[in-house]
């Protein structure tokens, strides 16, 4: 064999594995979009990855994740959703109504797995909880639908409250429903409330000054991704102004907040990972019922109560799932 033919033969042989790799199916890509920020939710992303592992999917090995965080700037989310659709990701996971609604609006075909606080039926995301029917399914946290329960627990802790402030984010699609529900609950128990709004960090500081001027005896913080993402700041403001506050997630209590009542976010993120994996394995969102939590956690921080000069009633302590001393 001539030297030139021999070298050409080697070149062709070397090309075979490359051609083989090029024919392998592309790794599926999960488009991850959240209303929040990465650092505060690192433990939730870990829970999401754990859910994927249940289905045998490991990031970097057989699935890729394209992360997008809005950092509480809800106006960025529609652009993120459109970009994920343009990139033709395999599935979109969206967390919080401000992220879910743009994702649903952006595509009727790419599967969407969501975590949402408000009723996904009322928001037009699914047709029913048992049979979503469209291209979206996920976890319904009831975060914005149990404000009445939170108000009652806060009243149990501070029974002499003449005025309770209610903090809502006007930029949240659920704000109107939250406002209506908490007003009805307050009327039912004869509690005077004052709804205040904040959708920026600057507004949060002003809001607490306003609450102090109004002589609010306590504060109910509505469920909202923007508030969850700034839990340390909220707890700091409440502590500085000496206002007993009720939150929607135990992460606030772990950060030094007084009390929380709500579902487990870690469980929700893990379930979203499982659903995402099942869809990547071939199942359809329309056939996967929206998951509803069966357990709601009451967490109380006794150190925070002591700093505020509050004595937690024994009956309330007995109902708590977690007590931080």
Rounded-to-integer distance, Cα 203 and Cα 199, Å: 7
Residue 104 contacts residue 125 (beta carbons within 8 Å): yes
The predicted pLDDT at position 147 comes to 81
In the chain, the percentage of residues whose pLDDT exceeds 90 is 74
The predicted pLDDT at position 223 comes to 87
**Which of 105-119, 144-158, 194-208, 244-258 is the least confident region?**
144-158
The predicted pLDDT at position 15 comes to 39
In the chain, the percentage of residues whose pLDDT exceeds 70 is 91
- Count CB atoms within 10 A of the CB of residue 137: 30
Rounded-to-integer distance, Cα 203 and Cα 178, Å: 19
What is the pLDDT confidence band of residue 174, given thresholds at 50, 70 and 90? confident
Arithmetic mean of pLDDT, 49-73: 96
DSSP state for residue 247 in the 8-state scheme: E
The predicted pLDDT at position 13 comes to 39
pLDDT at 312 over 80: yes
Domain boundaries of the chain, sorted by first residue: 29-142+264-287, 147-262+297-324
- What top-level class would CATH report for the domain 147-262+297-324? alpha beta
Please give the C-alpha separations between residue 316 and each of 148, 152, 160, 319, in angstroms, as whole numbers: 16, 11, 16, 5
pLDDT at 3 over 80: no
The predicted pLDDT at position 18 comes to 38
Name the token pair of 125. 């995301």
Rounded-to-integer distance, Cα 156 and Cα 120, Å: 30
Structurally, what CATH architecture does the domain formed by 29-142+264-287 represent?
3-Layer(aba) Sandwich (3.40)
- Taking all residues of the chain, what is their mean pLDDT, rounded to a whole number? 90
Same topology, domains 29-142+264-287 and 147-262+297-324? Answer is yes
pLDDT at 8 over 60: no
The predicted pLDDT at position 25 comes to 60
Q: Which segments of 141-200 does DSSP mark as H helices, in order?
A: 147-157, 175-189
Residue with the bigger pLDDT between 22 and 113: it is 113
Q: What is the pLDDT of residues 82-103, one digit of tens each?
A: 999 999 999 999 998 899 999 9
Reported pTM:
0.83
What is the pLDDT confidence band of residue 144, given thresholds at 50, 70 and 90? low
């Amino acid at each position: 064999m001539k030297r030139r033919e021999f070298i050409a033969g080697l070149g062709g042989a070397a090309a075979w594995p490359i051609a083989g790799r090029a024919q392998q199916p592309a790794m599926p890509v999960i488009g991850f979009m959240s209303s929040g920020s990465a650092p505060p939710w690192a433990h939730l992303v870990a829970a999401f990855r754990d859910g994927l592992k249940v289905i045998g999917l490991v990031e970097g090995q057989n699935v890729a994740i394209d992360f997008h965080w809005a950092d509480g700037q809800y106006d960025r989310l529609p652009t993120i959703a459109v970009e994920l659709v343009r990139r033709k990701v395999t599935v979109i996971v969206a967390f919080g109504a401000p992220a879910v609604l743009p994702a649903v609006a952006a595509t009727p075909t790419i599967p969407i797995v969501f975590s949402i606080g408000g009723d996904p039926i009322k928001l037009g995301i699914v047709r029913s909880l048992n049979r979503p029917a469209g291209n979206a399914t996920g976890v319904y946290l009831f975060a914005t639908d149990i404000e009445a329960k939170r108000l009652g627990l806060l009243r149990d802790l501070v029974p002499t409250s003449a005025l309770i402030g209610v903090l809502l984010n006007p930029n949240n699609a659920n704000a109107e429903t939250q406002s209506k529900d908490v007003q009805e609950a307050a009327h039912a128990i004869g509690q005077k409330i004052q709804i205040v709004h904040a959708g920026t960090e600057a507004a949060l500081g002003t809001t607490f000054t306003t609450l102090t001027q109004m002589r609010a005896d306590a504060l109910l913080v509505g469920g909202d991704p923007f508030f969850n993402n700034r839990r340390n700041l909220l707890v700091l403001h409440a502590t500085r102004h000496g206002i007993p506050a009720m939150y929607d997630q135990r992460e606030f209590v772990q950060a030094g907040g007084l009390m929380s009542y709500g579902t487990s976010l870690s469980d929700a993120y893990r379930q979203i990972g499982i659903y995402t994996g099942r869809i990547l394995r071939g199942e359809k969102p329309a056939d996967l019922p929206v998951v509803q939590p069966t357990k709601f956690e009451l967490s109380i921080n006794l150190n925070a109560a002591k700093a505020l000069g509050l004595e937690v009633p024994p009956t309330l302590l007995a109902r708590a799932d977690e007590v931080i001393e």
